[in-house]
Amino acid sequence: MRLFHVKHYDVVVIGGGHAGTEAAAASARMGAKTALVTLSQAGIGVMSCNPAIGGLGKGHLVREIDALDGVMAQAADRAGIQFRLLNRKKGPAVQGPRAQIDRKLYRQAIQAALSAQQNLDIVVGEAIDFLRINGRVAGVTLEGGAEIRCHAVVLTAGTFLNGLIHIGDSRKPGGRTGDAPSLRLAARLAELDLGRGRLKTGTPPRLNGTTIDWARVEMQPGDSDPTLFSFLSAGTLVRQVSCGITHTNPLTHEIVRNNLNKSAMYGGHIEGVGPRYCPSIEDKIVRFSEKSEHQVFLEPEGLDDTTVYPNGISTSLPAEVQIAYVRTIRGLENVGILQPGYAIEYDFFDPRGLSPAMEVRAAPGLYFAGQINGTTGYEEAAAQGLAAGLNAAAAALGKEPVHFSRTSSYIGVMLDDLTSRGVTEPYRMFTSRAEFRLSMRADNADQRLTPLGIAAGCVGERRRVAFDQKASALASAREALDSVMLTPHQIMAAGLKQSQDGVRRSAFQLLAFPDVDIAAVEAFCPAFAAFGGDIKDQTAKDALYAQYLGRQSADVAALQRDEGIRIPADIDYCAIAGLSTELRQKLSRHRPADIAKAGKIEGMTPTAVSLVLAFLRRADRRSAAK
């Protein structure tokens, strides 16, 4: 790994977590001279919590990162020890690839990817301040006094800013277990008046796998036909393993309930809001008191590591209570705890203070990505890191910003949600957040985003060539199917169900019928049979959703039109006649970047939106007349 040999860069990224590594790699792929400043080299690519990547909504993000040539998907494929496609029985739009990850292999894969990345230097150190020149953030100061100058800084400090670790009623400063918090940078940020808040998250105790009675738990293997993350991966690379499944029971719940007052979360020691969708065992027992058991997945942390991550029982109870309740669980009667669970509280900043390019509006030149924006999860962090890294590099190189629309990517949905609506609790991705999810599937992330990445300049030659070949094969397969037109009689004669409505259908349309498989369509269209299995499968998925896309297209066009109407950052909302004082204040505070975002501000009415639109049109006419 290269270490710090220049003191002037285009882009400096602070933090070597999931947001930081993706931001640094993206910036360097764009051709920007990039430095990644992080507290420890060994900590690059560390997974702070669960040893898994992907899942519902999250798997879509990983595929999108891959479509833009990011590092997370290929690293996860290298380190994956169990792959499962979630929601397999439902339609492809809501299926989510997920993998159990060997922590050490993942770290190694990320570190190797960064090491091989041109234009990227790794700097080990603590960033403690920002350099500001002419009102712009133009560099960072490291502990010890060294300064690095640059055009743009991407800050991805995760849970480290004023991080406070809680176990029972004991608390100590920490960024995560074993790491010091980032206090000085947090103090500098507090001076910027960016809308700071506190959030919390928790992690379960880590178990010694050799002390688990595996015969008493159910074992769940991965899929026999693993679905990998990267469009470039051919198959799994390491031994695959099973996970255990066990359950809490009334005795577990009784112990937790009797000790709630000792929990950091319930004893009133934590002010931050926690992730609703990743509740602690204390939360579960209070919120779902009618339930007599909760599922616990026993997830191996690595192939040569006996540590087991019990997914589902994160906690901030005292260590002695943790051991007592864990040992009530079937299979864990004699378990040894290697590291107690804990909760962590940290600073985040209101993401409504960011531009759509992730730049802090009050501090030009500074970009935020990851947990610092109020999100939770590796995938959410990595996707933001990618977007911030691309945009910081674009700004440094004098290129156009890279825009992600919510009509075509989960990245766009997340950035829009964060910058328009802000967060009241840790934000995580779900497929339900995407109104156009039928067209934004994990399987077609490359079709949706690789062209954008090629145009932006962040996609390497290997992926470009693979993508072009696939795109041309998909187009030819579609052409072959479209050229075969079938009457209802022909379809019925082949033994397929079809009403006699007199309408001729193409072989592509036939492929969308629920009871028609690829082999049946090949009988009508021998040219289709000549394509590879992946092309045929992809075409079948495209056919399945084609009719819905037609129905969605008017809504997509309307949203794209509104996203395209930009609102100048210096617009004077007080000068817009007819707007209420309350809306003038809200618009002035949030400064939406476009009409779509303005429409989402709480209290905005269609009339208010049209007043802003009319004002923009008048301003356009005036400037055209000059």
Question: Any residues with CB less than 8 A from the CB of 526 and at least 6 apart, and which?
Answer: none
Q: With binding defined as CB under 6 A, does residue 53 bind ligand FAD?
A: no
**How far apart (Å, rounded) are the C-alpha atoms in residues 488 and 403?**
45
In the list 120, 185, 199, 481, the residue contacting ligand FAD (rule: CB under 6 A) is 185
**DSSP per residue, 51-99:** SEEE-TTHHHHHHHHHHTT-SHHHHHHHHEEEEEEETTTS-GGG-EEEE
- Of 49 and 440, nearer to ligand FAD (C-beta) is 49
Which single residue is written with the structure tokens 């190694």?
A: 108
Of 13-21, 243-251, 319-327, 410-418, which part binds ligand FAD (CB under 6 A)? Answer: 13-21
Q: Is the dihedral of CA 118, 129, 151, 383 positive or negative?
A: positive
- Contacts with ligand FAD: how many residues (CB under 6 A)? 36
Minimum distance from residue 395 beta carbon to ligand FAD (Å): 21
- Of 97 and 370, nearer to ligand FAD (C-beta) is 370
Q: With binding defined as CB under 6 A, does residue 43 bind ligand FAD?
A: yes
Query: How many CA atoms, within 13 angstroms, populate the side-chain half-sphere of residue 506?
Result: 13
Q: Which of residues 80-139 bind ligand FAD (CB under 6 A)?
A: 126-127
Of 156-164, 358-366, 531-539, 592-600, which part binds ligand FAD (CB under 6 A)? Answer: 156-164
Residue 200 backbone dihedrals phi, psi, to 5 degrees: -140, 160
Q: With binding defined as CB under 6 A, does residue 272 bind ligand FAD?
A: no
Minimum distance from residue 204 beta carbon to ligand FAD (Å): 9
Tokens standing for 115?
């090491």
In the list 19, 67, 152, 363, the residue contacting ligand FAD (rule: CB under 6 A) is 19
- Of 379 and 542, nearer to ligand FAD (C-beta) is 379
In the list 51, 158, 222, 340, the residue contacting ligand FAD (rule: CB under 6 A) is 158
- Of 153 and 393, nearer to ligand FAD (C-beta) is 153
Residue closest to 343 by CA, chosen among 513, 214, 171, 472: 171
**How far apart (Å, rounded) are the C-alpha atoms in residues 60 and 445?**
8
Which single residue is written with the structure tokens 């954008």?
A: 452
**How far apart (Å, rounded) are the C-alpha atoms in residues 206 and 48?**
12
Q: With binding defined as CB under 6 A, does residue 156 bind ligand FAD?
A: yes
- Amino acid residing at 69: D
- Of 92 and 351, nearer to ligand FAD (C-beta) is 351
Binding mask 233-262 for ligand FAD (x = CB under 6 A): ------------------------------
Q: With binding defined as CB under 6 A, does residue 423 bind ligand FAD?
A: no
In the list 318, 353, 356, 370, the residue contacting ligand FAD (rule: CB under 6 A) is 370
Which single residue is written with the structure tokens 């209290």?
A: 603
- Of 181 and 300, nearer to ligand FAD (C-beta) is 181
Q: With binding defined as CB under 6 A, does residue 182 bind ligand FAD?
A: yes
Q: With binding defined as CB under 6 A, does residue 371 bind ligand FAD?
A: yes
**How far apart (Å, rounded) are the C-alpha atoms in residues 591 and 612?**
12
**How far apart (Å, rounded) are the C-alpha atoms in residues 238 and 77?**
9
**How far apart (Å, rounded) are the C-alpha atoms in residues 24 and 49?**
22
Inter-axis angle of helices 72-79 and 58-67, to 10 degrees? 110
Minimum distance from residue 346 beta carbon to ligand FAD (Å): 8
In the list 24, 27, 32, 48, the residue contacting ligand FAD (rule: CB under 6 A) is 48
In the list 28, 30, 32, 49, the residue contacting ligand FAD (rule: CB under 6 A) is 49
In the list 83, 266, 367, 378, the residue contacting ligand FAD (rule: CB under 6 A) is 378
Minimum distance from residue 239 beta carbon to ligand FAD (Å): 26
Torsion of CA 536, 541, 543, 544, to 10 degrees: 140
Question: Any residues with CB less than 8 A from the CB of 139 and at least 6 apart, and which?
Answer: 12, 130, 131, 133, 147, 148, 149, 150, 153
In the list 38, 119, 252, 444, the residue contacting ligand FAD (rule: CB under 6 A) is 38
Helix%, strand%, coil% for the chain, nearest 5:
40, 20, 40
User: Length of the chain in residues, anyone?
Assistant: 626
Binding mask 383-422 for ligand FAD (x = CB under 6 A): ----------------------------------------
Q: Is the dihedral of CA 538, 414, 357, 233 positive or negative?
A: negative
- Of 286 and 494, nearer to ligand FAD (C-beta) is 286
Q: With binding defined as CB under 6 A, does residue 45 bind ligand FAD?
A: no
Minimum distance from residue 137 beta carbon to ligand FAD (Å): 14
**How far apart (Å, rounded) are the C-alpha atoms in residues 143 and 404?**
36
Minimum distance from residue 426 beta carbon to ligand FAD (Å): 8
Tokens standing for 177?
């277990």
In the list 212, 344, 395, 429, the residue contacting ligand FAD (rule: CB under 6 A) is 344
Binding mask 189-228 for ligand FAD (x = CB under 6 A): ------------xxx-------------------------
In the list 10, 18, 284, 407, the residue contacting ligand FAD (rule: CB under 6 A) is 18
Q: With binding defined as CB under 6 A, does residue 159 bind ligand FAD?
A: yes
How far is CA 100 from each of CA 76, 82, 196, 309, rounded to the nearest angstrom? 9, 5, 34, 11
- Is 617 in a helix, a strand, or coil? helix
Query: Is the Cβ–Cβ distance between 20 and 372 less than 8 Å?
Result: no
Of 154-162, 206-214, 395-403, 531-539, which part binds ligand FAD (CB under 6 A)? Answer: 154-162
Q: With binding defined as CB under 6 A, does residue 27 bind ligand FAD?
A: no
- Beta pairing partners, 299: 309
Residues near ligand FAD (CB under 6 A) are 14-20, 37-39, 43, 48-49, 126-127, 156-160, 175-176, 182, 185, 201-203, 278, 314, 344, 370-371, 376-378, 381
